Copies of this chain bind each other. A is one copy, B any other.
Amino acid sequence: MMSEPSIPANVRDLAARRHVDAGGAIFRVGTSASHVYFLLRGRVALNRFGPSGEEVAIHVADPGEFFAEASLHAERYHCTAVALADTEVAAIPSVDLRARIQSDPQFAMQWLESVAGQLRQVRARVERLSIKSAAERVRHLLLTEGRGKTPTYALRGTARELAGQLGLTHEALYRVLAAMQREGTIARTRSEIVLLR
């Protein structure tokens, strides 16, 4: 059984617990950015929509993560948060969080570190999306996000989601994975991809 991650002690007193059913929205793009969130259970997708209505997955949050962090400094949310599963979040009013950052230098540093970490992660994703070959993108994913000596990537959602992360259609991803498997570059189980060479 997976135990629930706990809200960082520094801000526990500011947080209000909230439940969201699968498919429900936590906030929508354009509405007033009043809260920052911490994910306790479930999964949350942060999406944007292009002019033609096409959806782009900006980020998928897993338990133990803050999300909508950047909204601390914005008037309005820049994306829409949708629960992918039954989800439990802690909502922290932006105003209170700002005040806490001002008054607690240690927490300020922790918070900063977390934002900087996200920045690094997103930069890695930019790097990945700049690669033209689908196979090289997968390899890059395994090398940068994989764990262990033989890089192993635990896929968190569906393969379709991963395809979105990689800027590929799901068909293209399946084909590339099949090809890499055939030629022995990777190995796959239901929930993992391992880079062999």
What residues make up the interface of A, taking CB atoms closer than 8 Å to B? 48, 50-52, 54, 56-59, 69-70, 72-74, 78, 98, 101-103, 105-106, 108-109, 111-113, 115-120, 122-123, 125-127, 129-131, 136, 139-140, 143, 164, 167
Majority-rule SS of A interface residues: helix
Q: How many copies of the polypeptide does the oligomer hold?
A: 2
Closest to A71 in B: B116
A165 to B78: give the CA distance in the assembly, Å.
21
Residues in B neighbouring A115, C-beta threshold 8 A = 112, 115-116, 119
User: Shortest 3 CB-CB distances between A and B: which pairs?
Assistant: A129-B129, A102-B105, A108-B108
Residues in B neighbouring A129, C-beta threshold 8 A = 126, 129-130, 167
Name A113's contact: one of B57, B73, B123 (CB within 8 Å): B73
